[in-house]
A and B are shown apart, each in its own frame.
Chain A
Amino acid sequence: MAEPAVAEPPNADPLTPERVFREHAPRVYNLARRMLGNDADAEDVTQDVLLQVVRKLDTFRGDSALSTWLHRVTVNAALAARRKRSRREDGRVYDPLESFTDDGHHAGHVRPWPRLPESPVLDREEANLIETAIARLPEMYRDVLVLADVEQLQNPEIADMLGLSLPAVKSRLHRARLMMRETLSRHYEERLS
């Protein structure tokens, strides 16, 4: 894959290993950890990806596009690590749309959550809850949700990275959000009651 060749402003600090580490390691590590659901594999991926960057530092004329490039390389490395691990998920995947009756009504009571601020700041309990909910998603849904809703990538970019069609990305993302909603509902409904 070609590295980005986007010039930085003339007064920008040079790309050094320390700067790559400081500005990019946490993001690479967290993306890998959320995709793989495993700290040890995330460490391996982070190390591989950042070593690639540092070994090619002289080929980067700037890091404006480095973040985008890193997303792609990290996703590829995480998918490769998962293939190597070759753990297959088995069992039927639960479909949240099954919580509707045959004639299309809500099967159970739909309860509200407490009012959340526009930009919520999560406490440790909420952050852990969301991390756990993400880790429990089936991989095919987890990858898309992490890239779309945590990393804030656009759907076409995700489709390109994962080798999926755009409708497939949207379908998986929607299912993932519905699964997350159900898990989070148990927490937020309790808080309200």
Chain B
Amino acid sequence: MTLTCRRVAELLIEYVEGTMCPEKSAELQRHLCGCVPCAIYMHTYKDTIRVTHALPDAPMPPEFAARLLSMLKSQDCSSGE
């Protein structure tokens, strides 16, 4: 194995985003096949991206939402005058 585990961790963004050259990608894949900790590290890196993407929007505080909507409506009336 020519890549160290640390180097694999450094390169993960290129690997998961598919921006790595084929030779480097094959070298990294060989490392992942032979190194269980790095394979787990890569999976949990990808899981991190997936759960972050799944984050739902929090609702706005109701008082703020009501105040904002009222303010927006009043602005629209005033700009149309």
Residues of A within 8 A of B (CB): 16-18, 20-21, 25-27, 29-30, 33, 39, 43, 46-47, 50-51, 54-55, 57-58, 97, 100, 103-106, 109-113, 116, 118-122, 126-127, 130-131, 134, 145, 149-150, 152, 170, 173-174, 177-178, 180-181, 184-185, 188
Q: In the assembly, what is the distance between CA of A30 and CA of B57, in Å? A: 6
B58 CB-CB contact with A under 8 Å = yes
Complex CA gap A54/B75 in Å reads: 7
Q: CB < 8 Å: which of B6, B50, B57 contacts A120?
A: B50
Known: A47-B71, A50-B72. A104 touches B6 (CB 8 A): yes
Are B51 and A29 in contact, with the CB atoms below 8 A?
A: no
> 15 new A-B pairs (CB below 8 Å) besides A33-B58, A50-B72, A120-B50?
A20-B72, A21-B72, A25-B65, A51-B72, A100-B6, A104-B5, A109-B37, A120-B54, A131-B55, A170-B13, A174-B10, A174-B13, A180-B48, A181-B45, A188-B44
Q: A127 touching B37 by the CB < 8 A rule?
A: no
B: residues with CB less than 8 A from A are 4-7, 9-10, 12-13, 36-38, 40-41, 43-45, 47-61, 64-65, 68-69, 71-73, 75-76, 79
Asked if residues B73 and A178 are in contact (CB atoms below 8 Å), the reply is no
Q: Across the interface, which residues of A come within 8 angstroms of B48, CB to CB?
A: 177, 180-181, 184
Q: Is the CB of B76 within 8 A of A57?
A: yes
Residues of chain A contacted by B38 (CB below 8 angstroms) = 106, 110
A185 and B44 contact, CB distance less than 8 A: yes
Establish whether residues A17 and B73, one from each chain, have CB atoms under 8 Å apart when the complex forms: yes
- Chain B nearest CB: distance from A107 CB in Å? 10
